[in-house]
A and B are shown apart, each in its own frame.
Chain A
Amino acid sequence: MTATSVTSTASVTSTASVTSTASTTATASATSVPSTPTRLVDLFEYGLDAPICLTWELTYACNLACTHCLSSSGRRDPRELSTAEARAVIDELEAMQVFYVNIGGGEPTVRADFWDLLDYATAHHVGVKFSTNGVRITRQAAERLARNDYVDVQISLDGATADVNDAVRGSGSYATALRAVEHLATAGMRNYKISVVCTRHNIPQLDDFKALADRFGAQLRLTRLRPSGRGADVWDELHPTAAQQRELYDWLSAHGDNVLTGDSFFHLAGYGEPLPGLNLCGAGRVVCLIDPVGDVYACPFAIHEEFLAGNVRAPGGFREVWRGSELFRRLRGPQHGGACSSCAFYDNCKGGCMAAKFFTGLPLDGPDPECVQGYGEERLARRPPGTAHLPRPSQDHSRRAAARPVDLVLTRRPPVSECAEHPLAGLDPTLAGKGGTHA
């Protein structure tokens, strides 16, 4: 899935400092003139007029049911933004000069209007990078993508072999992804990515992933497994061991800018030298998420009321949420290290990932659960037993494994739209069966 943020810094001279970055799509550099250059990270802590990396999950519908899905996707949400509403969001992004969006899901390509929205965005100067499991990347689709300079594709693959991949992403998903990669390579697509969520089972395959990407002319992108969405259910078994984190850090350090990370491993900066990247939690400052129903969250890994900033359907649209949200203002204020502030490495890791702490039940001003100094593990060990104390994501669109009888209970349904004509519009029997609304 789409991780976020921007990246690394290397001062070149006292008068012009260059910041070179392997962000998700972008490689970035900073050019400064003053004799005392400000660190980019300090500028970004107070937020930007518009996000740099905006993730937009177009749909919760997905043909797969990955065990670690950070958005708990599966079924389409009937309140999903319509084509017209999605276009209106693109118009806003164009006006705000958001250079590109990271589109994900769910599986974005299963939306019937996916290709239209892609063309609409790129025609309106909003570049698109989308994450896909490859299901709709046919030969023809690959040729179409290769022709558009404003599109970048990311194929998700969580194992360099079918057994490791399919254990997480489902039977046949390795073959689907590889077929898509072959089509892209044959079509002459350049700079597309093979995107891997690092787990305990695939960290031994780092060299194999690199070889695979090289073989198909793709760029390798590694991101962090977050305990978000269904990821919370498998995090204990899948997240890398302490020894593997070190192995990953050393491997990434050796490969430098040739391997992208979406800046997701800044918690590893606690080992010493930061990896290329901004090494900053960008939530609400440089990144945010628009979910399929238009809700705006501080980051793609934080689908929870606590991080909900507003909805693009409200008056003022996305711009108003980005600029006016109380939550975002708070996130842009000075952050305090709390329990971490006395740690010698706090300046490097900044306490790690907010979402990772939140969904593992750790305080936001304490260590990351995967703190490389071991403080997170200590905290995890002190948590109450069981999972009842853990926050649950506010959206769950997982498909049920098998059809079950549905308990009928009367609930108030949230309005679908002002003029939904179909009498059953918005009714989601599974949710109604749970006796709750999603809101």
Chain B
Amino acid sequence: MTAIDLDRAWDLHPLVSVRPEPFGALLYHFGTRRLSFLKDRRLLAVVQALAHAPTARAACLAAGLGEHEVPRYGRALAVLAQSSMVVGRTS
């Protein structure tokens, strides 16, 4: 699994809806009709922080992660980027 560039800005794809659930969240992409399950509440917090953070790393820290946890969450974000749930943000 290749990691994503943690030092750039990311966001949820505009066609993705997020539904929090007790175990984490459900993501649905209306464009690809794919459903994803976030099996971790903190990953949900990271995903939700992406839009307002200058970088993915900053989003992780804003979500309360420690530095040592960032690589693991980065790999989870890479999985989401692969299925276009999460996309690079330019502004």
Contact = CB atoms under 8 A, between A and B. Distances in A.
A43 B33 contact: no
B56 to A, nearest CB: 14
Contacts of A125: 17
B34 interface: yes
A13 B79 CA distance: 11
A16 B31 CA distance: 24
Nearest to B36: A29
A100 interface: yes
A27 interface: yes
A31 B34 contact: no
Interface string A13-27: 101111101010111
B28 A99 contact: yes
A52 B35 contact: yes
Interface of B: 1, 15, 17, 19-24, 26, 28, 30-40, 42-43, 72-73, 75-76, 78-80, 83
Contact of A30 (B15, B20, B39): B39
B42 to A, nearest CB: 7
B83 A29 contact: yes
Contacts of B76: 15-16, 31-33
B39 A27 contact: no
Interface stretch (A34-42, A139-147, A228-236, A321-329): A34-42
A152 interface: yes
Contacts of A335: none
A69 interface: no
A24 to B, nearest CB: 10
Nearest to A127: B30
A117 interface: no
B79 A38 contact: no
B21 A49 contact: yes
Interface residues of A, number: 38
Interface string A130-157: 0000000000000000000110100000
Interface string A37-75: 110100100101110100000000000000000000000
**Interface of A (DSSP majority class):** loop
Contacts of A150: 30
Contacts of A32: 24, 38-40, 43, 76
Contacts of A25: 33
Nearest to A29: B36
Nearest to A99: B28
Q: Which 5 A-B pairs have the closest CB atoms?
A: A28-B35, A32-B39, A26-B35, A30-B37, A99-B28
B39 A38 contact: yes
B36 A28 contact: yes
27 contacts: A13-B1, A15-B72, A15-B76, A16-B72, A16-B76, A16-B79, A17-B39, A19-B37, A27-B33, A27-B35, A28-B34, A29-B37, A29-B79, A31-B79, A32-B39, A34-B39, A37-B39, A40-B39, A49-B22, A52-B26, A97-B17, A97-B19, A99-B17, A127-B28, A127-B30, A149-B15, A191-B33
Interface of A: 6, 12-13, 15-19, 21, 23, 25-34, 37-38, 40, 43, 46, 48-50, 52, 97, 99-100, 125, 127, 149-150, 152, 191
A30 B37 CA distance: 4
Nearest to B34: A27
Given A15-B72, A37-B39, A46-B22, 5 more contacts: A19-B37, A31-B38, A43-B37, A48-B21, A50-B19
A25 B32 CA distance: 10
A9 to B, nearest CB: 10
A152 B79 contact: no
A50 B31 CA distance: 21
B72 to A, nearest CB: 5
Contacts of B23: 38, 43
A215 B23 CA distance: 42
Contacts of B26: 48, 52, 99
- Residue among A27, A30, A152, A191 with the most chain B CB within 10 A? A30
